[in-house]
Amino acid sequence: MRILAIGAQPGDVEHACAGVLARYASGGHAVTIAVATTGATAALSGTADEAGRIRREETEAACAVIGADLIWLGNEDEFLTEDKPTRMSVIDAIRSVGPDVLLVPSELEDHPDRRAAARLGSDARIPAAMPLLGSHHGPVDIPTTFVMDTRGGRRFEPHGFADISDTIDLKQTMVECHVTQRTWAKAILGVDTAEDMLRLARMRGHQAGVRHAEAFQLVLGPPATEGWALLPSTRGDDT
């Protein structure tokens, strides 16, 4: 299978679903991470261009941990918009991968870039299948789509869980690749992103009856898909 996870900023996907991406990768599936913005403002020094370059390098390092491909959309950090060019770029990203499974952020996120990425990802999945909508790549089948957990699990009500007990160490390694984000979050927000990730993984694991888990919602509607059968899950509810 082909798996595509879309995040707003560098490190978002790793925090939300790197454990399940590692499970996919270990099973021989092709994994791609798409990042919508440069993340250039979440740094403590240097210029925005320098910060954006470093954050891309950190994302490349995180992808390398599990052999994932990277799509870097390069939109301006803090100002992700839902205009036509941006939506077309997301449609093209989906078409370039042709994913069987698409993972998108939740609209319940606190950050506006993450909420915009949630809508862009969800709204692009059906247009990506439309033959008369022209882009750099041809149409693909509508992927089975899952919504990823929010930061800290705030306001998110899971439909199901993926057991990541065997891949939590890989997930932590990927999260810790984002040194710039971790340093910035500690200084500005008083949050350790790696510890925050582990806390959430343990909480979701407790809910799922395993040591560590990630939580998801299944997007219902077209197409008729195999649903939870495509996600390495401990429990899923299609209703």
Where in 17-170 does DSSP place strands (E)? 30-37, 69-75, 101-104, 144-148, 160-163
Q: Are 134 and 116 in contact (CB under 8 A)?
A: no
Put simply, whether the predicted model's pTM sits higher than 0.85 gets the answer yes
Is the pLDDT confidence value at 237 over 90?
A: no
Query: How large a percentage of the chain has pLDDT more than 70?
Result: 96
Which string of DSSP letters, residue by residue, matches 221-236?
SSS---GGGGS--SEE
Residue 190: Cβ within 10 Å count: 7
Spatial separation of the C-alpha atoms in residues 66 and 26, rounded to whole Å: 8
Lowest mean pLDDT: which of 23-37, 40-54, 77-91, 169-183? Answer: 40-54
* Stretch 196-210: mean pLDDT: 97
pLDDT tier at 225, thresholds 50, 70, 90: low
* Stretch 174-192: mean pLDDT: 94
* Stretch 213-239: mean pLDDT: 77
pLDDT at 235: 61
Spatial separation of the C-alpha atoms in residues 214 and 150, rounded to whole Å: 10
SS3 180: helix
pLDDT tier at 239, thresholds 50, 70, 90: very low
pLDDT at 223: 66
Domain boundaries, the chain: 2-236
Q: Which two tokens stand for residue 94?
A: 């989906």
pLDDT at 233: 72
The residue type found at 146 is F
Residue 150: Cβ within 10 Å count: 22
What pairing do the DSSP bridges indicate for beta strands 213-218 and 144-148? antiparallel
* Stretch 223-237: mean pLDDT: 73
* Stretch 174-181: mean pLDDT: 96
Q: Is the CATH number of domain 2-236 2.40.110.10?
A: no
pLDDT at 173: 98
What's 239's DSSP letter?
-
Question: What are the backbone dihedrals phi and psi of residue 231, each rounded to the nearest 5 degrees, phi first?
Answer: -110, 130
* Stretch 137-159: mean pLDDT: 95
* Stretch 3-17: mean pLDDT: 98
Residue 173: Cβ within 10 Å count: 17
Query: How large a percentage of the chain has pLDDT more than 90?
Result: 87
Is the pLDDT confidence value at 44 over 60?
A: yes
Spatial separation of the C-alpha atoms in residues 20 and 96, rounded to whole Å: 21
Residue 131 C-beta-side C-alpha neighbours within 13 Å: 0
